[in-house]
Amino acid sequence: MRDDLLMDEKNLKKGTTTVGITCKDGIVLAADKRATMGHLIANKDVEKVMPITDRIFLTIAGAVGDAQMIVKYIRGEMRHYEISKQKKPSVRVCASLTSHILFSGRMSFTPYIVQFILAGRDEKGYHLFSLDMGGSVLKDNYTSTGSGSPIAFGVLEDNYKDGLSINEGVRLAVRAVSAAIRRGVFTGEGVDVYIITDAGLKKLPEEDVKKCI
């Protein structure tokens, strides 16, 4: 019984909003900072954008324990791929592996309660994928995950257009997550914004993010 209680507690640590937007000169990722345990705010400064390689990055939404374990596994597999193949993995290769991991969870009594946005750059350009707990993997120009995603999608659907600059993408991503913060109980504590360019991943200073709100 105690193990069941611990599993329930871990899976309750969910509720978030993450956003990914493909721009003409890179990708913007944004996420709120709140982690919840039921109706309790468990943490107010959670990093929800994680590096997989130096060119591939992932946002997390869902059960924190599941997400952390999967991220560690994917990192190890990508290092093994680079050593064995003598080349860096593509974003699609990483998305495919992640999809297989999530799909395998369907065969157990405790599937992985997570959603991911996987984004990065390879020799074919910039790529953005969304993945759910069932293992589906979809390539998108923009997407959102988490409990606040229906609200964020409303902002993205109404304002996204092809050929956005990074600056325009940042403003749109902040607007989308901010809307979810205002209306979603499980989203809050501000917005972290990251940009992926040829130089790699960069986190925007908090003061620059506040100018977009």
16 is catalytic: yes
Choose the catalytic residue: 16, 17, 18, 36: 16
CB 14, CB 62: distance < 8 Å: yes
**Long-range contacts, stretch 74-79, CB < 8 angstroms, 24+ apart:** 74/98, 74/101, 78/52, 78/53
Q: Which amino acid is at 108?
A: S
The sign of the dihedral angle between the CA atoms of 18, 111, 74, 42 is positive
DSSP secondary structure string for all residues of 175-212:
HHHHHHHHH-TT--S-EEEEEEETTEEEEPPHHHHHTT
CB 87, CB 55: distance < 8 Å: no
Place of tokens 């991503």: 173
Q: Please give the positions annotated as active site.
A: 16
